[in-house]
Structure 1
Amino acid sequence: MSSGQSNLPPRAKSGGQSKKKPPPKKKSGVKSFFKIILILVLLAVLGVAVYAGSLYLKVENGILDTGNNEKVAPEQSAKVKPITMLLLGTDHRPETGTHLTDVVMVVSMHPETNSATLISLPRDTSLQLEGYKSNQKLNAFYPIFKTQEKKSGILAEDQMKTMLGKYLDVDIDYVTVLDFQGFRDVVNALGGVNVDVKYNMCHRDSVDGTDINLKVGPQELDGKQALDYVRYRKSMNCKPKTKESNDFDRNARQSEVLHSLIDRMKSFGGATKAFNVLDAVDDNMKTDLEKDQVKNMIMAYYDIKKEDVKFVPLTGEWRSPFVYISDSELTKAKQALKDELAGKHTREPEGTNTESASKP
């Protein structure tokens, strides 16, 4: 980004100085830049907001399609108040019509520290939470809540906010949902991702249309292949069978894909494809953020750096068919969110790795 570019307001210096308002710009689509933020927050790569300088002229004062026109009180603005958002990636796609949440993340952001902490939960987690079935995997609750909507009158997204807020001991302000098709289209819009496949992966299922066939080695994957790489669990209908994978292995692959995506986004070629990314998720994302809050978020976090996004993947013990999160791990996650909301963000030491369970 050119150092001579001054389209965005200057970042407030330490000490709580307020940011100057940006000069008036011609109208375009605020939803465009906001969708980039939401997509990449969901993908655990908030740092892509470095594109703000080149995109801001095209996004200010546009018409948003969040469907929420409620006003945001000044004291509730994301420019001054830390917020917490639930991020769900569902397996919803035309082939299945299902709504299982293969990605479940909770992110807290603080405007003064210009930072975020993101907690990632394994899809097979047993919540062990009062008032909720302990024999239900975490990824099954969203579709259950979806079927209850008409009878309960409560949106599944709100049910998820309540449940995960209780589990992590945090008030969740908003929720954003992105489905599989959106993920595939984002990868394709960026021209693919580069990964190093550690072992062969094969899984074929004619029922839901799954056809995973990846070979070991460094390679560039398209949208379908990248989704296969992230989703792969076990070998099925393949000879020879390939090595199985657990939730923690998938989290590691997810992180690898996301880092490759942000590298693509930070390249000149990625920047020129930014609006293709926006089109890619137009029909595949749902959020309850107010339109005014969207603008506040852009103002607050347009220049957040990847290094200031703390990623805390929860691990635990695999006892088929569940992942059981230890009390110490859960306490660590809760404290990380509390620290973020209190303005006490800390970076993880370089080279920190998450241990994997011993079994898939």
Structure 2
Amino acid sequence: MKVKSKKQDRIPGIVISLILFVIECAFLVLLLYTKLISMKYIGIIAAGLLLLLVIVYFLVRKIRKTVPFCIGVVLALLITVVLGLASLYIYKTVSTLDSITGVNQEYTEINVYVKQDDKAQKLADASGYTFGILGELDRTNTDAALKQVYNELGTDVQTSEYAGLGELADALNNGTCGAILLNKAYLDVIAEMDQYGSFPSQIREIASLKVATVVERNTPAAQQTSSADQEQTSSDTSAKDDAVTDEVYTIFVSGIDTRGGMTASSRSDVNIILTLNATTKQILMISTPRDYFVPLSISNGVPDKLTHAGIYGVNVCMDTLDMLYDININYYFRLNFAGFEQIIDALGGVNVNSDYDFDSGNTTGYHFNKGENHLNGEQALVFARERYAFKEGDRQRGRNQMAVIQGVVDKATQPAFLKNYLSVLDSLDGAFETNVPYDVMASLVRKQLDEGGSWQVLSYSVDGTGDTQKPYSMSSKAYVMIPDQNTVDKAKVLMKKVREGFRLSEADVAR
């Protein structure tokens, strides 16, 4: 009986210890799965959990020793709660990163429009119509959408081609065609054109088609050059510098001009190139004005506003900037304006430094002080979009956009960020996407945890001269900015220095 009593005395403690052991093992497996923590730290965490398990076991091994047993139970419950909360944070992090990273496909919304007073309410009602389409602009997406129209209607589609947006709009207005098939992003472009500002309000959508495009970029590992290649290009400073490693990344940050989801191509109003060197812990932001008048990668040398590159997809944005700066962009981050507000609000607002004291031109009429301003999501968006309050217009807007990014980085690296962590992750859903692979994100996190240290963030804006020209995507002249090649060349040098590991200073990026 005495032996049996001793066994029964130990059974509760053994059960509690086994349960805790399983919980700790499950937590360690989760850490390994995330790839966010190096084996060194996982080993330290495992040793700490083992020590806690041993302590709990010695406290609970005999139930008749009431005080130690109760202390052990409380400690086991506390460990379980802490590991449960940590697991929730880890799971939420991995789940969010999985949903927003590695995006290798984007969707362009091609719609069928008729006049407001047209009797057609759906695509089938327009089966006998002549569809007006653009002859050359965005033809790949148009042809893909036409195939979808054919499949849905089950009959041939009569089309009529037009040289530009103005001609297409006129054809619909005067009845030459009964409907038009058009990339939704072009509506904002048409509204910019003289005599067509009211056109978007005069038409009605009867069908929406999604055209998928694969986003393909070279990763840094694939861009490393051989020593022979380096010798061949070393004498030519204008040649593209592809000699990067998996510690150096060139990333395109695009703020799209829409408050909808991330499925549609749209004008890119924020165009920032990040050159990130994980070895020297430097991030260089290069801002390019939205109205920069440069050839697009698809325009056969005809210049267009840089913002219009987004109409044709993020691939065209990156390829166009590749051409402008003689670089190879590895990845992209894409954020819509609604998501911008959500992220700032989830952070609890950010502190942003303003170069000027100014009032915004929006309906709310926010005032911003020279120096530091604490901004919520709506205020930060207004601050980043304002340009009419400045003599330098779009140039200053680009600087303000980078100031907001700096504010987000500063806030996200503070310990207080943890209390808003889950809400920030929630804010990214549907508002933010990137083709940066999860493994790359995880490796950067591991490196930062292993090495620690702060990051240096610097910014520079290229400049230009205002002019009136006819862009590739428009049927009439509009305001554009002719690039100042000296500033473009300086941006090239700055990016090259960061890639090669030189430590820049504020003086290097001074205007």
Provide the rounded CA distance (Å) in 1 between the counterparts of 2:245 and 2:303.
41
Which residue in 2 is equivalent to 1:230? Answer: 384
Question: What does residue 282 of structure 2 align with?
Answer: 115
Residue identity opposite 1:183 in structure 2: F
Task: Give the drift of 1:294.
Answer: 2.4
The 5 A counterparts of 1:1-360 are: 22-23=41-42, 58-59=89-90, 62-63=94-95, 64-66=98-100, 68=102, 80-94=246-260, 99-128=266-295, 132=299, 134-143=302-311, 145=312, 156-194=313-351, 198-203=357-362, 211-215=363-367, 217=369, 220-234=374-388, 246-301=393-448, 303=452, 305-307=454-456, 309-320=457-468, 321-341=479-499, 343-349=500-506, 353-354=510-511
- Residues 332, 301 of structure 1: CA spacing in aligned structure 2 closer, same or farther, 3 A cutoff? farther
The range that moved more, 242-251 or 288-297, is: 242-251
Cα offset, 1:293, TM superposition? 2.3
1:244 CA displacement: 6.8
Aligned residues: 280
Higher radius of gyration, 1 or 2:
2
Q: Distance in 2 between matches of 1:316 and 1:69?
A: 33
Higher helix share: 2
Offset at residue 212 of structure 1 (A):
4.0
Structure 2 CA distance for aligned equivalents of residues 159 and 300 of structure 1: 32
Q: CA deviation at 1:260?
A: 3.7
CA distance in 2, matches of 1:319, 1:88: 24
Code of the residue aligned with 1:122 in structure 2: it is P
Indicate the residue corresponding to 1:14 in structure 2: none
Q: Which runs of 5+ in 1 are unaligned?
A: 1-7, 9-18, 27-54, 146-155, 204-210, 235-241, 355-360
Q: What stretches of structure 2 of length at least 5 have no aligned partner? A: 1-30, 32-37, 47-85, 105-217, 225-243, 469-478
Distance across 1 between alignment mates of 2:493 and 2:504: 14
TM-score by length of 2: 0.47
C-alpha separation in 2, matches of 1:140 and 1:116: 27
**CA deviation map 1:230-263 (0-9, x unaligned):** 21233xxxxxxx7776012213333443444344
Shift of 1:351: 9.9
- Whole-Å separation in 1 of the counterparts to 2:337 and 2:501: 34
Superposition deviation, residue 277 in structure 1: 1.4
Q: How far off its partner does 1:216 sit?
A: 5.2
Contact kept in structure 1, 2:271 and 2:289, CA below 8 Å: yes
Deviation of 1:138 after TM superposition, in Å, equals 0.6
| Structure 1 range deviating more: 79-88 or 297-306 | 297-306
Distance 1:200 1:69, change over 3 A: closer
Distance, in Å, in 2 between the alignment partners of 1:160 and 1:130 is 8
Deviation of 1:201 (Å): 2.1
The residue type paired with residue 215 of structure 1 is: H
Deviations 1:28-59 (A, max 9, x none): xxxxxxxxxxxxxxxxxxxxxxxxxxx99944
Q: Deviations over 1:283-334 (max 9, x none)?
A: 1112122222222232345646342x33222122233512222221111111
Q: Partner of 1:273: helix, strand, or coil?
A: helix
CA separation in 1, counterparts of 2:336 and 2:265? 10
* Contact kept? 2:280, 2:503, Cα under 8 Å: no
Distance verdict in 2 for CA 1:298–1:56, change over 3 Å: farther
Moved more, 169-178 or 309-318: 309-318
CA distance in 1, matches of 2:487, 2:287: 12
| CA 243–107 in structure 1, closer or farther in 2 if over 3 Å, else same | closer
Deviation at 1:194?
Answer: 4.3
Q: Give how far 1:266 is off.
A: 4.2
Task: For 2:416 and 2:485, locate their aligned partners in 1 and report how far apart those are by CA, in whole Å.
Answer: 45
Closer/same/farther in 2, CA of residues 67 and 20 from structure 1, 3 Å limit: closer
Question: Is the 2:390–2:396 contact (alpha carbons within 8 Å) kept by the matching residues of 1?
Answer: no
- SS of the equivalent of 1:347 reads coil
Q: Give distance in 2, aligned partners of 1:264 and 1:108.
A: 21
Distance in structure 1 (CA, Å) of the matches to 2:251 and 2:497:
15
Distance 1:165 1:21, change over 3 A: farther
Instruction: Note if contact 1:114-1:301 (Cα within 8 Å) is conserved in structure 2.
Output: no
SS, match of residue 213 in structure 1: coil
- Secondary structure, in 3 states, of the residue corresponding to 2:250? strand
Contact 1:85 1:173 in 2 (8 A): yes
- State the 1:268 CA deviation: 4.2
> CA separation of 1:245/1:82 partners in 2, compared to 1, >3 Å: closer, same or farther?
closer
Give how far 1:21 is off. 5.1
SS at match of 1:297: helix
**In the aligned structure 2, how far is the partner of 1:123 from the partner of 1:247?**
7
Superposed CA RMSD? 3.8
Give the structure 1 partner of residue 186 of structure 2: none
8 Å Cα contact 1:110/1:116 also seen in 2: yes
Asked if the contact 1:91/1:98 (under 8 Å) is kept, the reply is no
> Which secondary structure does the structure 2 equivalent of 1:119 belong to?
strand
Once the two structures are overlaid, the 10-residue window that deviates more, 191-200 or 83-92, is 191-200
- How many angstroms apart in 2 are the aligned matches of 1:245 and 1:166? 25
Structure 1 position 129, deviation (Å): 6.1
Compare 86-95 and 276-285 and name the one that shifted more.
86-95
The alpha-carbon deviation at position 93 of structure 1 amounts to: 0.5
What SS is found at the alignment partner of 2:361?
A: strand
Q: Is the 8 A contact 2:296 2:316 kept in 1?
A: no
Change beyond 3 A, Cα 1:59–1:167? farther
